[in-house]
Structures are given as C-alpha cells and as structure tokens.
Structure 1
C-alpha cells in the first residue's frame, strides 16, 4: 500500500496527476459533508482567527487573546485605535487567511517541501497557543497540532506529501464555505456583528461588497492552488 501511495505522491509534480486530483475530491467531500464539516470547521476557524491575530500585531495593535468555541466560532481580541487602516486590515484578514494558507501549502507541496509545511504549521500553532484564552481553544490547537505532528514524525515522505496535498485542498475549499454561511446568516438577520458588517461601518462599503471581495479572493486562490497541485510540470 505504501508503495502505491509513494508512486501516486511522486506524481504530485506531474501535469494532471491523479493523486492530487483524488486528494482534491476527498477534501471537497470533507468540506461539503454535513457529517465531517462541523468538526473540521474548527481547523478553518483556527486559520481565520490566526489571520486576525497576525495582522493585528503587524498593524501595531495589542493582541489581548484568542478564543475558539465549540460551535466553531472564534473571537480575536485586540486593542488600539478603533478606526483607521489597522482596524480595517485586522477585520479584513480573517476570511482570506484560510485561502492564502491553503495556497501557501499548495506551493510547498509542489516544491517538494511537504515536511517543511508540516513543521511550519506546528510552529504557527505553538505561537497561537500562547494567545488562546479558553479551554476549548487550547484543546482545538493541541489536537490539531498533535495530528500534524504525528504525520510529520511517523509518516513516510510519500504519506506526508499526500496528507499535505489533502490539507492544502481542504483549506482552499474550506476558505469558501464560511463566506457562503455568513451570507445566509446575514440574510436571516443573525450576523450584525460579523467582520463584514463591522467593515461596512468603518469604511462605508456595504457588507455584501466585502463578502464578494472575500469570495473572489477565495476563488482566485483556489484556481491558482489547483493549478499548482495539478498542472505544474515535474522539476
């Protein structure tokens, strides 16, 4: 079985390879399935809140903490000027962060750097753990990091490449579904404090426009990431 996986994952750099396509289809199923999405959405929330936290720090705001909840929602608390570019970019960063992480993962996989991707994920999770302020958040980070560590430590390079391809696809697809979910919540009047609504109040640009921007960014990263995973020639 491992020889078969090694053969498939060795083709990840080949044009139109079947291994990457299968990984993509599995990831799409995990995102669309009502059985798997409620659990795996925690991973998307981690990436989302991590995006808020990184941009808050880069914009000069003080990061007060991150909370991850069992309903897969999250909250990143920072202090600083309540208006202006720093606040705008902090609110803007969450949804694109998921897709951009997936894009970065796709690049690392096709560059034959799957192990580096795994350790980079672990390092980011450890850094994020320092900012977590609730028990469920700690559990989410530890479980996610534990799975990634197990793959990095025990899996063969072939399995590592396949798992990283699957993870990259999952983030690329998973970055789109929460935007659609937010649109439905807003239509039902249940998301007045969403990132999009806060951005609308700060900038004057309608919340729907921010949703459209995030969705277009998600589609663009999915297109580029898919091309890297499926169509890049072997190097």
Structure 2
C-alpha cells in the first residue's frame, strides 16, 4: 500500500514543464474571458476595467490634440465621461471622440506584446503607472474607488504573486481588454439600434459614434464598423503575440 504523501504534488516546485505548455494557459484564459464577458452579471463588473481604458483613450487623445483636460468620471452603470475644453468641432474633437472605443483593444495589443516578450513585471508596473496618472483626473467617488481597486489588485499580484500567478493575471487583464473591447462595440450598436441614432440639430449625446457622425458628416454606422474592425484585428494580433510567449 503506497503512502498518502507519495502521490502528493509538490506545488512549490512545479515548473511550466510539469504543468504543460504555458500556451494552454493563454487559451484557457481566452475562453474564460469570452464566457465572463458574455455573462451579464460578471460583465457588469468587468466592464469597469474596459471603461477605464475607454475614458483613458479619450483623455490621451484630448491632450495629444492640445485640448485642456477637465476631468474624468466613471459611473456605477459602467458608463463614463471625459471632459475637455477646446474647439467644439474640428480634427481635435474628432480624434478625441474617435479614441475611446479602440483604446481598450489597442492597449490590450500592447500588453500582449509585453507578455510575448516575457516582460510580465513591466506590464504590471505599466498598468499601475497608467492607473496612477488616470487617478489624478478622476472627479467622482465611484471613479476613484474603481481605479484604486484595479490598481491595488495589480500591486498585490506584483508583491505576492509567483511566476504562474503574475503570468495568469497579466494574460487575464489582456484578454479582458481585447474581448471586452469587442463586446463594448457590439453593445454600442445594439444601443444605437434600440434608441435610434443620429441627430437632427445640435450635437448628439447618445454615443461616440453618433457624436462622430455629427462632427464628421459620416454616418455613425461607419464609425461602429471602424471600431469593430480595430477590435477584431486586435484580438487576432493580441492572441498571436501572447501565444508566442518565450521565456
């Protein structure tokens, strides 16, 4: 009769070889991201991370175009608003409005590249740094709570996480931005269809796509297609980069 301890795994000394190909982890987390963003309850929580990236995209674009950033608010219904001062129309406002929906996907590609280069610690510190910068522009209590909680999770992984934990967390965040970015675009079009789109006078307030339509005189559906294409290409590119992980 074999002893009970003879079949016990030594978890502290497990290596990637004993666990199997690390690429399997990337695939498993991709499936998890699809499932969790597809389920209404979990998506309502996770979407806050996508909203942080979305509003951060607006903020960066506003600064790049020389607009004065007036603050960011994140709401409990997972919506957000980025306020900036400058000309109400023109290229600066168009670029600012355009930057929101692609931001989570493009950030996800950047993080995926760091995963592929085995720069996991860099990735986590970059996330913390971006959240710290964003925190200076938050103008409401829920927004402060959301950004601080997200940053605290990343810091906790940096301090206490082992190699497997940090890689898993990094891949999970990256997939959330990539898959969640696409889910947000799909929701955008569903909302436009349900509420009616376009504007017959003043500037629209319903969505970024309709605001872009008013600013550019190009139909809102065109901008939704652009957002969708960027998100889809980003998922493919991000997945390829993460699957090329080579420690």
Determine if the TM-score, normalized by the shorter chain, exceeds 0.5: yes
- Larger CA deviation: 193-202 vs 154-163: 154-163
Determine if contact 2:89/2:215 at 8 Å carries over to the other structure. Answer: yes
By how many angstroms is 1:2 displaced? 5.4
Larger radius of gyration: 2
9 and 108 in structure 1: CA distance in 2 versus 1, 3 angstrom threshold:
farther
* Structure 1: unaligned runs, 5 residues or longer: none
Identify the residue that residue 86 of structure 1 maps to in structure 2.
Answer: 92
124 and 79 in structure 1: CA distance in 2 versus 1, 3 angstrom threshold:
same
* Structure 2: unaligned runs, 5 residues or longer: 1-10, 198-203
**Residues 140-175 of structure 1: CA deviation (Å, up to 9, x unaligned):** 111111111111111012211111011111111000
- Determine whether 1:131 maps to 2:144: no
Identify the residue that residue 72 of structure 2 maps to in structure 1.
Answer: 66
Identify the residue that residue 4 of structure 2 maps to in structure 1.
Answer: none
RMSD value, Cα: 1.8
Inter-partner Cα distance in structure 2 for 1:184 and 1:50: 23
Inter-partner Cα distance in structure 2 for 1:169 and 1:2: 27
Inter-partner Cα distance in structure 2 for 1:2 and 1:96: 40
115 and 32 in structure 1: CA distance in 2 versus 1, 3 angstrom threshold:
same
Inter-partner Cα distance in structure 1 for 2:20 and 2:95: 39
Q: TM-score, normalised to structure 1's length?
A: 0.92
**Residues 103-156 of structure 1: CA deviation (Å, up to 9, x unaligned):** 111110110111111110111111111000000110011111111111111101
Could you tell me which of 97, 103, 116 is aligned with 1:97?
Answer: 103
Identify the residue that residue 210 of structure 1 maps to in structure 2.
Answer: 223
Which secondary structure does the structure 2 equivalent of 1:132 belong to?
Answer: coil
Inter-partner Cα distance in structure 1 for 2:18 and 2:238: 19
Equivalent residues in 2 for 1:24-173, closer than 5 Å: 24-173=30-179
By how many angstroms is 1:30 displaced? 1.6
Give the total of aligned pairs. Answer: 230
Identify the residue that residue 237 of structure 2 maps to in structure 1.
Answer: 224
Which secondary structure does the structure 1 equivalent of 2:231 belong to?
Answer: helix
9 and 175 in structure 1: CA distance in 2 versus 1, 3 angstrom threshold:
farther
Inter-partner Cα distance in structure 1 for 2:181 and 2:18: 26
Inter-partner Cα distance in structure 1 for 2:99 and 2:18: 35
Determine if contact 1:8/1:19 at 8 Å carries over to the other structure. Answer: no
Q: TM-score, normalised to structure 2's length?
A: 0.88
Determine if contact 2:117/2:246 at 8 Å carries over to the other structure. Answer: no
Determine if contact 2:116/2:245 at 8 Å carries over to the other structure. Answer: no
**Residues 15-53 of structure 1: CA deviation (Å, up to 9, x unaligned):** xx2111111111111211122100111000000000000
